[in-house]
Amino acid sequence: MGDELYVRRYRAADRDRVRELHEAAMRDVGAYAEDRPDEDLEAIRETYLEAGGAFLVGEIDARIVAIGAFRPPGDDHYLEHFVDLPASAVVLTRMRVEPEHQRRGYGQRIYEALEARARDRGYAAIVLDTMARQTAARGLYEANGFEEVRRERVETFEEPFDLLVYRKSLSESA
């Protein structure tokens, strides 16, 4: 069994494995919402690929062990957090690594491939959110130049949590 991660674009046949990996990774950090549907994972092609975004998977020995995506913000809550958010920003999301494959640099590889695609498509900034308790994710984002721009307490779920919003400029001067 090799440890070399092969990163590629999402295919329709990946759907079930992507959902399984997402659930395992979120359960591992205590952040899986049992009663909250992940509508974007039910419509990856429409939500990401056809909307100007990207959805990547990372495989080892033909098994998906990492995922990540970005998409334009659209009509979601990110715009209210960023008065100066350029129209050419994307939202980074669904960064997940199978728990038994973490701490091997696979999340970094997925992130680098996503950032390269965002830059190639002319996007000017990347925004994302994560829970404060997701310390490994925060470490990855901060190591890659993301700055925390907002922190808020979310009380709408059974277990309240702190949500952190990050931003990174993709301009050459950044």
HEC per residue, 6-60: EEEECCHHHHHHHHHHHHHHHHHCCCCCCCCCCHHHHCHHHHHHCCCCEEEEEEE
Q: In whole angstroms, what is the distance from residue 125 CA to residue 148 CA?
A: 14
Query: Worst-scoring range by mean pLDDT, 46-50, 74-78, 101-105?
Result: 74-78
The whole-number average pLDDT for the span 2-20 is 94
Q: What is the pLDDT of residue 34?
A: 75
Q: What is the pLDDT of residue 83?
A: 45
**Amino acid letter, 77:** H
CATH placement of domain 6-169:
3.40.630.30
More confident residue, 111 or 129: 111
The whole-number average pLDDT for the span 74-84 is 55
Each residue's pLDDT tens digit, 81-102:
554 677 788 999 999 999 999 9
Percent of the chain scored above 70 by pLDDT? 89
Q: Which two tokens stand for residue 16?
A: 């079930």
The whole-number average pLDDT for the span 118-129 is 93
Q: Which two tokens stand for residue 157?
A: 């779920």
pTM: 0.89
Where do the domains of the chain lie? Answer: 6-169
Q: In whole angstroms, what is the distance from residue 110 CA to residue 69 CA?
A: 9
